[in-house]
Structure 1
Amino acid sequence: MQTEKVIDHIVKWLKDYAENAGMKGFVIGVSGGIDSAVTSTLCARTGLELLCLEMPIHQAPSQVNRAMNHIEWLQENYNKVSMTQVNLTPVFDGLIDALPAVENEESRFMALANTRARLRMTSLYYFAALKKYLVAGTGNKVEDFGVGFFTKYGDGGVDLSPIADLMKSEVYEIGRILGVNQEILDAAPTDGLWGDNRTDEDQIGASYDELEWAMKMQDNGKNPGDFEGREKEVMSIYLRLNKLNQHKMIPIPVCEIPAQLKN
């Protein structure tokens, strides 16, 4: 990958899109992970306004510290970068108290994890409307179009996706060139939706390097039967999630009414 040229291409794309839309800049949720670190830095390099939101919900201190350190680094290196911390923990807890109890605690646990992402999306759009900003997405290609590892109308609810055509390994490569803090480059990827230290790999059952390989194998028409051992297992994991999460990756289905029924 011609990394420097890719960086310049994304920065120009971001700036052109915002200016053509008549918007002043971008707002982004900074989590302490590589994707939001790279995306926020690319936005900052446009020279337009950038608001970084840090939105903890029972967050692990290590994640909050990495996010705050990154925002401080951005402000030291780029103009027009501002920061707001919105503590969503009491909002989340209040919503839990307002919701009726359910028998299936496992389903409730998953629903509440996704609710965290949707509360953050709501906060991002509040500030976007307030300041005439665009909500910048942080999803990469493997997450958005491979295994669908994002929350529908949560972190998937954005105005534009600057890094969604980049594999995770390519995001890391860009992060190194941009000078993203080493603690972020070294941190295990996590969605931060569970209030603990579980990683993306813990949840998915495969690393991003493995998922990238499987995505490429799918493009080449391969299936689990073409492999043995761990490769067969990874291919099965990838294809299962790819099929399961298609509803996130395709446009919302519209029930089209035949013209004769409208007459």
Structure 2
Amino acid sequence: MKTEKVVDHIVNWLKEYAQNAKVKGFVIGVSGGVDSAVTSTLCAKTGLETLCIEMPIHQAESHVSRANEHIAFLKKTFSNIKEWRVDLTPVFEEFKTEVSLEAHEDIVNMALANTRARLRMTTLYYYAGLHGLLVAGTGNKVEDFGVGFYTKYGDGGVDLSPIADLMKSEVFELAQFLKVPESIINAAPSDGLFGDSRSDEAQIGASYPELEWAMNSKDNGKTAVDFKGRKREVFEIFMTYHQNNQHKMLPIPICEIPKNFK
């Protein structure tokens, strides 16, 4: 990958889109992960206002410290960075007192994990509205179009997606080029939606390099019968997520009314 050209292309795309939309810049949730670190740095390189918001909800301390380290790096490197911290833990806890939790524990926990992401989306759009900014998404190609590993109308609720055409490995290449803190580059990817430091790999059952391989294999017309052992297992994991999460990746279905009914 021609990393410098990719960086310049994304930065110019971001700047042009913001200018055409007549907004001041971007707002982004900084989580301490590599995707948000790369995206926020690309936004900062446009020279437009870039508001970085940390939104902990019972967050693992390692996530908080990495997020703070990255924001400090951005503020030292760029003059157009603003930061804000919104502790959503009390909001989340109050929400839990008002809804029914009478279901299987695993189902409740997943619903609450998605609620965390949606509270953060709401917060980002609140500040976007206050300051005339666009919400920049942080999803990469494997997450957004491969396994659908994001929350619908949560971290999937954004105005534009700067890195959604990049595989996770390519995001890491950009991170090195952009001099993202090593603590973030070396950390195991995590969605941070369960109040602990569990990794994406632990949740999915496959690593990002394995998922990239499976995505490329599918695009090349391969099926599970073409593989054995771990490769077949990974391919089946990928395809299960890919098929089950199509509702996230495809446009919202519209019931079209026959003209003779109107």
Q: Which interval holds the TM-score relative to the shorter structure? A: over 0.9
Equivalent residue number for residue 257 of structure 2: 257
In structure 2, distance between residues paired with 1:101 and 1:147? 28
| Paired residue secondary structure (1:128) | helix
- The number of residue pairs the alignment matches comes to 262
Task: Output the amino acid matched with 1:94.
Answer: E
Match of 1:201 in 2: 201
Q: Specify the alignment match of 2:139 in structure 1.
A: 139
Corresponding residue for 1:114? 114
1:241 aligned onto 2:241 = yes
Q: What is the identity percentage for the equivalent residue pairs of Structure 1 and Structure 2?
A: 65
Number of the residue aligned with 1:127: 127
Distance (whole Å) between structure 2 residues aligned to residue 84 and residue 197 of structure 1:
23
TM-score, structure 2 as length reference:
0.99
Residues 140-159 of structure 1: pairs in structure 2 closer than 5 A: 140-159=140-159
Q: Which residue of 2 aligns with 1:174?
A: 174
How much has 1:101 moved relative to structure 2?
3.1
Counterpart-to-counterpart distance in 2, 1:225 and 1:205: 20
Deviation at 1:79, TM superposition (A): 1.2
For 1:213 and 1:182, locate their aligned partners in 2 and report how far apart those are by CA, in whole Å.
Answer: 25
Alignment deviations for residues 106-156 of structure 1 (CA, whole Å, 9 cap, x no partner): 211100000000000000000000000000000000000000000000000
TM-score (norm 1): 0.99
Aligned to 2:80: 80
- 1:4 matches 2:4: yes
Amino acid at match of 1:69: E
d(CA) in 1 for partners of 2:218, 2:239: 8
* Cα distance, 1:196 vs structure 2: 1.1
* SS of match in other structure, 1:50: strand
Say whether residues 1:48 and 2:45 are aligned partners: no
Partner of 2:94: 94
Distance 1:76 1:96 in 2: 39
Secondary structure at the residue paired with 1:149?
coil
Q: Shift of the alpha carbon at 1:100? A: 2.1
Instruction: Give the whole-Å Cα distance in 1 for the aligned partners of 2:103 and 2:54.
Output: 33
The one-letter amino acid paired with 2:254 is V
**Matches of residues 219-230 of structure 1 in structure 2 within 5 Å?**
219-230=219-230
In structure 1, the residue matched to 2:26 is 26
Partner of 2:162: 162
Aligned match of 1:213 = 213
The AA in structure 2 aligned to 1:193 is L
- 1:240 aligned partner, one-letter code: T
Alpha-carbon distance in 1 for matches of 2:236, 2:173: 27
TM-align CA RMSD = 0.5
**Following the alignment from structure 1 to structure 2, what is the Cα–Cα distance between the partners of residues 237 and 222?**
14
Which SS does the other structure have where 1:157 is aligned?
coil
Structure 2 CA distance, aligned partners of 1:103 and 1:148? 24
What amino acid sits opposite 1:32 in the alignment? G
* Secondary structure of 1:69's aligned partner: helix
User: What's 1:187 paired with?
Assistant: 187
Structure 2 unmatched runs, 5+: none
Structure 1 residue identity aligned to 2:223: N
> For 2:206, what is the secondary structure of its paired residue?
coil
Q: 2 CA distance for matches of 1:236 and 1:62?
A: 32
Whether 2:129 is the aligned partner of 1:105: answer no
